Homo-oligomer: A and B are copies of this chain.
Amino acid sequence: MTANTTTETPTFLAACRSEPTSHTPVWIMRQAGRYLPEYRAIRKTVDFLTLTKTPELAAEVTLQPTRRFALDAAILFSDIMTPVEGMGVSLDFSPGPVVTNPIRDAARIEELRVPNPEESVPFVLETVRAVVGALPKDVPLIGFAGAPFTLFCYLVEGRGSKTFSTAKSFLFAEPEASHQLLEKLADTMALYLGAQAAAGARALMIFDSWAGLLGPEQYRRFALPAVARVIEALKPLDVPLIYFPNQGATLLEDVATVDVDVVGVDWRLPLSKVRSLLGSRISVQGNLDPAALFAPPDELKSQIDSVLAEAGGQPGHVFNLGHGIERTTNPDAVALLVDYVHERTER
């Protein structure tokens, strides 16, 4: 289902560029992960951190869902904090990443490096090469990184949080230092993503998981310029760029000002409204509620139909969930989803 009959370009990449395709491509955020028994089997033998740092295993895990489902793209298995260690930030895992010494002053920010990814994360680039070598030619690999503001949240807060109130307060209390940290993160992520593309990733996605914690004014002041800096640096590569401002319904008019190819959106705003806010230049990716995968098959199909109807068809729609798949999801529901999206959109 993944070949695009109208051009030589893989369907997923054509849709990213708003070109006509033979069907609506589909992939699933966190498609390589805990809902798959074959993933859990590997995780029984190795901890998460080791998995992300062992190319052979990370590549295997990246490939697993592409063997089981007719997915139109693969996405690198890694963690958004992986490239941050090379900046000079030490992390513990307990079980999620915890910054040993959270960053809360200008002196610490000054000390942070912008590392060369070939030196700081060679294992990630080796994983990319291994995956690209193993994937069918019409299934591109998506490389990814965290957006500067989202990484800022973790570095300042020190750990995951519902509100990231320490990080957000830092924006208000120390705007200059905040800008400096965001710029260093932007430069580091631009190099990191560029290296993934050089290693063979054919699209690049920037996850702004915590963008939705900001009101529009703070978003325009801090998060948006930082992600725009990443995008500007990557634009010459001519690889489709996907930006996912999670819970960003109120930010989309601002998002439309950056030069990305695709904007990923959560399930909170129907895609017809998303499209009207983003304009016709930008493709949309999303946005089925991950909870819909727990519905009986007929209801799941009805929910998928609803997303497809809101998207208004090709060109310019990549089907996905509106957030990462839940670990308790039945893989059979994913198979149904992938096949049904293909069946309903084939032409």
Contacts and interface: CB of A to CB of B under 8 A. Distances in A.
A299 B172 contact: yes
Contact of A169 (B165, B166, B326): B326
A294 B156 CA distance: 15
A295 B173 contact: yes
Interface string A201-218: 000000000001011111
A54 interface: no
A256 interface: no
Given A162-B162, A306-B217, A172 B268 contact: no
Interface string A157-200: 00000110110111111000000000000000000000000000
A296 B269 CA distance: 35
Given A162-B162, A290-B165, A270 B216 contact: yes
Contact of A249 (B249, B270, B322): B249
A4 interface: no
A218 B322 CA distance: 14
Nearest to A324: B163
A250 interface: yes
Interface in A247-306: 247, 249-250, 267-270, 289-292, 294-296, 299-300, 303, 306
B218 A268 contact: no
B291 A165 contact: yes
**Which of the listed residues A173, A250, A299 has the most CB atoms from chain B within 10 Å of its own CB?**
A250
A171 B291 contact: yes
Contacts of A290: 165
B294 A173 contact: yes
A170 B267 CA distance: 17
Given A165-B290, A172-B295, 20 more contacts: A163-B326, A166-B328, A169-B328, A170-B294, A172-B292, A172-B294, A172-B299, A172-B300, A173-B295, A173-B296, A214-B268, A215-B267, A215-B268, A215-B289, A215-B322, A216-B269, A249-B250, A249-B268, A250-B268, A250-B269
